[in-house]
Structure 1
Amino acid sequence: MATPSLVRPRRGKMIAGVCAALAKRFNLSTGIVRLLFVIFGLVGAGEIAYIVLWIVIPKAEY
C-alpha cells in the first residue's frame, strides 16, 4: 500500500491545511495534530514551523 503524499487539502482545513495534511500523511486525527501545534506554539516555535510548512507543503490539485 502506498503512503499518502504530503499535500494540503482544498477541503477539510481550518486555516491553510497544514495540520490536515500532516494528519492524513501520518494517519493521525486532525484534532490531535492541531492540539500538538497549539502546545508547541505555547512552549516553542509552533507558529514559525506552521508558516514554514504552509510554504513548503504543496496544495492539492483537485
Structure 2
Amino acid sequence: MSTTAATTPKLSRPRSGRMIAGVCAGLARRFGLSTTLVRWIAVASVLLPGPQVLIYLILWILIPNDPE
C-alpha cells in the first residue's frame, strides 16, 4: 500500500527562483501549481481588504528554507 505523502513535496521555501521570500514558490511547489499563478493570486489578493500581507509575513517566518 503506497501513501501519497511520500510523493508530495514537503512545504519549504526554495533557495532559487524566489521573488521576495519564496513563500509563493514554496506553496506552488507543495500543491503542484504554477508559481506564476500563485504569485498572481497573491498580488490580486492584496487588492482586497484583509490581512494578506500579515499572513505572507507569518508564512515567511513559519515555512523553513530548503536544506542546502
TM-score, normalised with respect to structure 1: 0.92
- Structure 2: gaps of 5 or more residues: none
Name the CA distance, whole Å, in 2 between partners of 1:47 and 1:39: 12
Q: Does 1:52 align with 2:42?
A: no
Give how far 1:32 is off: 0.6
- Structure 1: gaps of 5 or more residues: none
8 A contact 1:38–1:46 mirrored in 2: no
Name the CA distance, whole Å, in 1 between partners of 2:62 and 2:46: 19
Q: Which runs of 4+ in 1 moved over 4 A?
A: none
Which residue identity lines up with residue 8 of structure 1 in the other structure? R
Match of 1:41 in 2: 46
Which residue identity lines up with residue 35 of structure 1 in the other structure? W
Q: What do you get for the CA RMSD once the two structures are aligned?
A: 1.0
Q: What percent identity do the matched residue pairs reach?
A: 52
